[in-house]
Chains A and B, each alone.
Chain A
Amino acid sequence: MAATVRWGSGLHVAVPMAKRGGLSYSKSEIDRIGDRLRDEQVESEILVKLDAYRESFEPAYQEVVSRIREELKIAPTGRPGKSIPSILHKLNRESIRLSQMQDIAGCRIVVVDIPDQDEVLRLLGRLFGDARTIDRRIRPSHGYRAVHVVARIAGLPVEIQVRTDLQHLWAEYSEMMADAVDKDVKYGEGPVELRELLASAARLVQDLESIPATAELAWREERRLDVINMFQKLIRDGEKLRR
């Protein structure tokens, strides 16, 4: 099967569809795909190879997402294959090769608060006993807090991101500002004003989420709305930093 696509300013090329399953690339071949992507050679041949690589995760992805949906009755949003800019950014900024990426396939679950997050983590732990849990609530990454559970199916990793509403709000806002102002802010670099703004927002969320679950619900909800209001002020301040 081939798809005719428009390439650049008008050249049409026939792109064979990546074959289903049974990936036969070696680790070094996979890393060569990454190297060529990094060298900004996004052309049909390399894209077909990348698609075949992304597709090799599909059975593992389908199993993880189906089990979460059917056995836990939780509705994650799945992302069967990491996008090219995300792969490129990771290859360029981190000392990681394409074959080492744990999040080629993944899904995301957003819950309301920490008790819900802990409960989802407990259920995921029961469902995928040998999964690796990376708790970025304990060790945030430049303000990013969430929990990532990496399940392995037939040796292939599938990353499950579990975020609270406010962790998610911070992550999405930070991603948006990184795109608009400076990508390096995700790595603790970039303009100091933006770093401080994101650090303030992260502290707000972290402080709120440190309130024990035993505290009165109405009081916790009031604090949560306070944080949302303060976040709103930070977002207004952040508008001045956009290019």
Chain B
Amino acid sequence: MIFVVVYDRKAGAVLETRRFANEQLSDAKAYRQRCELQHAARSDEVEVVILDAENEEALKQTHGRYFGGAQEMLDRAAERSRHR
């Protein structure tokens, strides 16, 4: 699954997450370009990124800072420890 994440680095908040099927990479890239232009005035602070992950859970594991604060990331690490 492909995700386009629009993340406000300064605010530490996701502005938008849009999902695309694997075969829609071109659409995802067009959408990224649109978002990058939309946020051009804050291009050093608003991050628009395409991520390609098995599912949302895998995405949260590898790119946790887009999905919650430090505590959530810590909880996920503790959870992984408990399930080893």
**Contacts of B53 on A, CB cut-off 8 Å?**
75, 77-78
Chain A residues bordering chain B, tally (CB within 8 A): 56
Instruction: Decide: A176 near B38, CB < 8 A? Known: A84-B48, A228-B74, A232-B74.
Output: no
CB pair B37 A77 closer than 8 Å:
no
**Cβ of B34 < 8 Å from any Cβ of A?**
yes
Partner of A85, one of B12, B26, B33, B43: B43
**Cβ of B40 < 8 Å from any Cβ of A?**
yes
* Cα distance A48–B30 in the bound complex, in angstroms: 10
> Nearest-CB distance from B59 to chain A (Å)?
6
Interface of B is mostly: helix
**Cβ of A5 < 8 Å from any Cβ of B?**
yes
CB pair B48 A83 closer than 8 Å:
yes
Segment touching B, from A126-134, A136-144, A147-155, A165-173: A165-173
Instruction: Decide: A65 near B52, CB < 8 A? Known: A110-B62, A176-B12.
Output: yes
CB pair B37 A7 closer than 8 Å:
yes
| Binary flags per residue of B29-70, CB closer than 8 Å to A gives 1, else 0 | 110111011101101111111111110001101111100011
Partner of B49, one of A18, A42, A83: A83
* Cα distance A7–B65 in the bound complex, in angstroms: 28
**Contacts of B32 on A, CB cut-off 8 Å?**
81
CB pair A108 B62 closer than 8 Å:
yes
Residue of B nearest to A180 (CB): B12
Residue of A nearest to B60 (CB): A77
CB pair A88 B37 closer than 8 Å:
no
**Contacts of B26 on A, CB cut-off 8 Å?**
17
> Nearest-CB distance from A157 to chain B (Å)?
18
CB pair A40 B37 closer than 8 Å:
no
Instruction: Decide: A112 near B84, CB < 8 A? Known: A17-B30, A51-B33, A176-B70.
Output: yes
CB pair A83 B47 closer than 8 Å:
yes
* Cα distance A165–B77 in the bound complex, in angstroms: 6
Partner of B74, one of A51, A81, A221, A231: A231
> Nearest-CB distance from B20 to chain A (Å)?
12
CB pair B36 A77 closer than 8 Å:
no
* Cα distance A65–B62 in the bound complex, in angstroms: 15
> Nearest-CB distance from B52 to chain A (Å)?
4
> Nearest-CB distance from B68 to chain A (Å)?
10
CB pair B12 A86 closer than 8 Å:
no
Residue of A nearest to B31 (CB): A3
**Contacts of B73 on A, CB cut-off 8 Å?**
169, 172-173
A7-B38, A75-B54 given; 8 more Cβ-contact pairs under 8 Å: A7-B37, A18-B29, A44-B37, A47-B37, A77-B61, A83-B49, A85-B43, A165-B81
Instruction: Please provide the 4 A-B residue pairs with the shortest distance between their CB atoms, ordered closest to farther.
Output: A78-B52, A77-B62, A42-B43, A179-B9
